[in-house]
Amino acid sequence: MTEITVGKSGAKVYDLDGTRIFKHVIRDKIENGMFDTYVREAQLYKALCPKPYLPELETIEIYPDEIKLVMKKHMHPDRNSINEDTIRKVADVLSDIHLTEIPEFMQNDEKRAALLTEDEIKQCLDGWNSVFGEHPGVFDALPLNAISENINDIITRHDSESKVLSHGDFHFDNLLTDENGNIIVCDWQGVNVGGASSDISFFMSRLGADGIQVDGRLFLESYVDAVNRKTGAGLAAKDIEWHIQASNIITTFRYWHFYLHGNPADRVQEIYGKMAEDYKLYLAFSTTL
């Protein structure tokens, strides 16, 4: 048995014999609070295996302070070989995940999004204005003020998105392939009940952050085509785009000002300009929905 990696939270993974993987999680060996996420992953495997998009499990053992998983060893796809066919395959697999019935142990997970209080909105405004203050006369605060006035409406409307089984950490490094080239999805610690737009936008943003440029429109349209082919639902790409824009606005408004202090004006403009453009698109999409 050869240790092949140590998870960032302290989970350990071993290669047993070249064909099987042993994942071992001990409560006292990992970061506080992380053990329960591995319990959820194991519960998901127990509830849904075998599914074509899940690793092939040999054994699942869940104890109060320990989890043992033995699964078939799959290969990591080469990120340098990402092409249009890969993007379509990933979109198809993601549609399968989102169309899966939510397991019983997650039935009570869906929660309403919390609206921001007046104090929280003011803190966000103050944070952004403080960033602007580092670059006098450069930034127009009108888009920021418009977003602050409408942020709770954006949160409420975004929360209306239909909820599905969401991976919660859907990116290329959590994809594997079997001997036939089929895509397998691993590392389900973040599994939740959420909107489809979250997995879609996170997958694209992570690729971009890693310097990999792919056609986001192709990914979105391939996903929509797969859902409609399997369900006849008549899902439209613009519906998901609208929720992606809303999510981007909410996240940027609430958190990005914390990270922009001390940055040059062009970096602030990159993030702020994207939020302002997302807001314009959000408003445009809203008139057509």
In 3D, which of 144, 187, 131 has the Cα closest to residue 273?
144
pTM attached to this predicted model: 0.88
pLDDT in tens, the chain (289 residues): 788 865 566 788 999 988 999 999 999 888 777 899 999 999 999 999 999 999 999 999 999 999 999 999 999 888 888 999 999 999 999 999 999 999 999 988 888 889 999 999 999 999 999 999 999 999 999 999 999 999 999 999 999 999 999 999 999 999 999 989 999 999 999 999 999 999 999 999 888 877 788 888 999 999 999 999 999 999 999 999 999 999 999 999 999 999 999 999 999 999 999 999 999 999 988 876 5
* 79-110+155-286 homologous superfamily: Transferase(Phosphotransferase) domain 1 (1.10.510.10)
Rounded Cα distance, 180 and 182, in Å: 6
Residue-level pLDDT at 78: 87
| Ramachandran angles phi, psi of 72, nearest 5° | -65, 140
| Domain ranges (residues) in the chain | 2-72, 79-110+155-286
pLDDT digits (tens, 9 = 90+) for 42-96: 999 999 999 999 999 999 999 999 999 999 999 988 888 899 999 999 999 999 9
Q: Does domain 2-72 have CATH number 3.30.200.20?
A: yes
Same fold, 2-72 and 79-110+155-286: no
